[in-house]
Structure 1
Amino acid sequence: MIQPDYRVLLDEEIWAYMDRSDSFYPPDAVSLTIDQQRAVYNRMCAAFHQPHPDGVRTWDVAFGGVPCRVYEADTSAITVVYYHGGGFVVGGLDSHDDVCAEICAATGYRVISVDYALAPEAVFPACFNDAWAAFQAIAAAYDGGIVLAGDSAGGNLAAAVAQTARGSHDGRIAGQVLIYPGLGGDRSKGSYITHANAPQLTVADMEFYQQVRSGGVPPVDDPRYAPLHDTDFTDLPPTVILTVACDPLSSDGEAYAAAINGAGGQAHWHEAAGLVHGCLRARVMSRKAAAFFDQVTAAIGAVGAGQWPAISTA
């Protein structure tokens, strides 16, 4: 197969972002220990971190025994439960702090970021157990609707929580917004093949994270691990999946939306051209990434308000 020409597919702003992001990683990054990878990732995230919008208050508190960070701009009847990305290996409350603060400011909703346990110290199902425990405690602590959201690995956890929550919580989940999520799709086709060696995330990277997350033995047919491995996609909340074209995971969004719609639910998948995995952080350097983030916040706002369709692709 002819490999995509990313010099054509990606504009100068995205290349500048990737160059800056990659500058934090040494040439022998593949040989770094997990602790070293986390240190590099944290330094990179800190370099891109933006000040909180005016009026956003934050505090740290545990829900269900899981460390979390709450963001509020005003009294809100809607709570966004946010699960951060990072391959289940890196990331935390600080890595996505400004993203969550800006979601709060843009929507007016309360946002709670969940600091679930990371691998290899805590292998699957520890990450899911934390995600679920925090969700249950947050649902008990606050009245009103809940929007589940997350990027990459966090999108996986949001979908797994939504699927596990079916039939409980009296319809409290207003919807879910998944940002370039990894959902366990078919790696023999689609973006897994076309963009197997995409910048910022490759199929080989995904295999590494999977081995670390699972402790070396990935579960089979466990939707808590891979939501697309479920056999029942009925009764899921309205779902928006936002992916990017230059990413091996993009086909997961297409497949998940098709599964939900095929089961009689409401799902919308949108793939943004000219962007790479992890581009939420690029919003400060790229107009395309900024527009993508605006779609994320608009989708969260619409889903929380019960509006459908929840996204405009015009």
Structure 2
Amino acid sequence: MTDYKTLIDAETWAFIERTNSYYPPDTIDDTIAQQREIYDRMCREFFAGYPEGVTVETSAIATPTHDIPIRTYRSAPQAAVTVLYFHGGGFILGGLDSHDDVCAELCARTGYEVISVDYRLAPEHLHPAAFDDVMSAFEWTASTRAHPILLCGDSAGGNLAAAVSHATRGHPRRPVGQVLIYPGLGGDRSKGSYVTHAEAPMLTTRDLEFYKHIRTGGVDGTGDITLSPLADADFANLPPTVLITAECDPLSSDGEAYRDRIIAAGGRAYWFEEPGLVHGYLRARHTVGRARASFTRIVDAVTALGKGAWYW
């Protein structure tokens, strides 16, 4: 039995308790509509505002079948890089508002343009709807921006960012890098953090099974790399990758496995497991020292990869 009382410090426990006060652990037993209402309220409670100097524009990408809402953040007249950001939320929660302040701060601290993508959610839109939307967003960005494109996402968004990286290896505007924050990449659930942290605060393996079932409608997606990037047989020619995971999170081993596969294929990848942190800690970046340090690590990784640098 993992002893979280010793692994997790007092600041992080306070964040967990505050989160649970807005979003109780048994929320997955509620209806999807109720879960979204609870999640959205929690995100509003944690909203930290915009840094000075960031301008924000909400618009949409038109596709033949529907519009994809996006929000663009800028802090410099001429951005050198565009960061495509895909939000977390188990593929059923979140949108432009849930990660609004995270994207604004990422923009302010890197000086890069950040575009947040409001991809379609399950269960109304089953896989591969979310993947199709982020691919459309990538194609639109490639056709409207002359500067390099970098992918970034947390949790479900990290999964989508990796899936785009795998799908665009032959693209003339392939991403220059990807930063994946506690992503779920379809790893082996019989070992590693899936076992050690099956009952971690903030995210359990029961939660993961629920989200997977909702995303696919119960259809077996074994071998589908747009669903589980770790199912790919070929890890060559992926962009330089930085993975940041939380120690107390069943998904942490996915970061290690993904790094190992890229390095074995001759690519560049770095994995850092944040000691004592839990899934969803981006919301703790202003109140928990470990989360604050991790967000700086994320900002530094985005900045470096955008410049074509590699120093890990």
TM-score band w.r.t. shorter chain: over 0.9
The sequence identity of aligned pairs, in percent, is 55
Amino acid in the other structure paired with 1:292 = S
Matches within 5 A, 1:93-104: 93-104=96-107
Amino acid in the other structure paired with 1:48 = F
Distance 1:146 1:26, change over 3 A: closer
Deviation of residue 30 (structure 1)? 4.0
Matches within 5 A, 1:119-134: 119-134=122-137
Q: Distance in 2 between matches of 1:94 and 1:29?
A: 20
Displaced runs of 4 or more, over 2 A: 25-31
Q: Distance in 2 between matches of 1:111 and 1:117?
A: 19
Give the root-mean-square deviation of aligned CA atoms: 1.1
Amino acid in the other structure paired with 1:138 = T
Q: Distance in 2 between matches of 1:130 and 1:233?
A: 23
Q: Distance in 1 between matches of 2:204 and 2:7?
A: 16
Deviation of residue 218 (structure 1)? 3.2
Ranges in structure 1 where 5+ consecutive residues have no aligned partner: none
1:159 lines up with 2:157 in the alignment: no
Q: Residue 210 of structure 1 contacts residue 218 of structure 1 at CA under 8 Å; is this kept in 2? A: no
* 1:248-307, Cα deviation, whole Å (9 max, x unpaired): 000000000000010000000110101000000011210111101110111000000111
1:188 lines up with 2:190 in the alignment: yes
1:135 lines up with 2:138 in the alignment: yes
Amino acid in the other structure paired with 1:166 = R
Q: Distance in 2 between matches of 1:107 and 1:28?
A: 37
1:307 lines up with 2:309 in the alignment: yes
Equivalent residue of 1:76, what SS? coil
Aligned to 1:117: 120
Aligned to 1:25: 23
Aligned to 1:34: 32
Q: Distance in 2 between matches of 1:25 and 1:80?
A: 29
Q: Distance in 1 between matches of 2:26 and 2:248?
A: 24
> Residue 269 of structure 1 is aligned with which of 271, 274, 278?
271
* TM-score normalised over the length of structure 1: 0.96
Q: Distance in 2 between matches of 1:181 and 1:25?
A: 20
Distance 1:210 1:78, change over 3 A: same
Equivalent residue of 1:80, what SS? strand
Q: Distance in 1 between matches of 2:159 and 2:25?
A: 30
Distance 1:32 1:51, change over 3 A: same
> Residue 288 of structure 1 is aligned with which of 287, 290, 294?
290
Equivalent residue of 2:244, what SS? strand
Aligned to 1:106: 109
Q: Distance in 2 between matches of 1:261 and 1:14?
A: 32
1:90 lines up with 2:88 in the alignment: no
Deviation of residue 26 (structure 1)? 5.3
> Residue 55 of structure 1 is aligned with which of 53, 56, 76?
53
Q: Distance in 2 between matches of 1:46 and 1:27?
A: 18
Q: Distance in 2 between matches of 1:26 and 1:306?
A: 42
* TM-score normalised over the length of structure 2: 0.96
May I ask how many residue pairs the two structures share in their alignment?
307
* 1:69-110, Cα deviation, whole Å (9 max, x unpaired): 000001112000000000001011000000000000010000
Ranges in structure 2 where 5+ consecutive residues have no aligned partner: none
Distance 1:30 1:238, change over 3 A: closer
Deviation of residue 28 (structure 1)? 5.5
Equivalent residue of 2:220, what SS? coil
* 1:136-173, Cα deviation, whole Å (9 max, x unpaired): 10111111111100000000000000100011124x41
Q: Distance in 2 between matches of 1:256 and 1:30?
A: 28
Q: Distance in 2 between matches of 1:27 and 1:109?
A: 36
Aligned to 2:243: 241
